[in-house]
Amino acid sequence: MAEKTLNDLFLDTLKDIYFAEKQILKALPKMARASQSEEGKAAFLQHREETQGQIERLEQVFELLGKPARGKTCEAILGIIAEGEEIIEEFKGSPALDAGLISSAQAVEHYEIARYGTLKAWATQLGMKEAVVLLDATLQEEVATDEKLTQLGEGSANKKGTRKSA
């Protein structure tokens, strides 16, 4: 068996995040529907649009590698999304629902930030300049989304979820 290199690791991880982005694309409209605040709904829908573009960027990276765009099951994102669904289920109709949705969405963003940060570093190491630009563009969107979610949480959702008299 041939020795595996950073090239193999890069391709495997690219497949992992490609699978993850497609799952996220399906999860975001559900989170938008569940959100009680209009701001939250708008944020989830806006990020769904961005996610579509991110999937296209990944397809461009596959193309640069001369490989078919194919996903590889990512158990981590399935678990993170399942936890989010659990919150939607268990906090339906409660004032803390939006705080829970934001926390789930941030878990997703943090996973993506970890993945894109690594992919960008590896693409740099491998001398794949065009891939670095594509991966960095997505990384910046994930970071901006994470920051926006923090603002939504600290701006209103966390307060709303706190019991006033206890």
Site of interaction with Fe ion (CB under 5 A): 16, 51, 54, 74, 76, 112, 142
Whole-angstrom distance, CA of residue 157 vs CA of residue 107: 16
Q: Whose Cβ is closer to Fe ion: residue 74's or residue 99's?
A: 74
Shortest Å, Cβ 94 to Fe ion: 25
Whole-angstrom distance, CA of residue 119 vs CA of residue 125: 10
Shortest Å, Cβ 23 to Fe ion: 10
Shortest Å, Cβ 73 to Fe ion: 8
CB atoms within 10 A of CB 154: 11
Q: Whose Cβ is closer to Fe ion: residue 51's or residue 104's?
A: 51
Measured from each CB, the residue nearest to Fe ion is 74
Whole-angstrom distance, CA of residue 153 vs CA of residue 118: 27
Contact 48, 32 (CB under 8 A): yes
Q: Whose Cβ is closer to Fe ion: residue 98's or residue 112's?
A: 112
Which contiguous run of DSSP H or E holds residue 61? helix 38-65
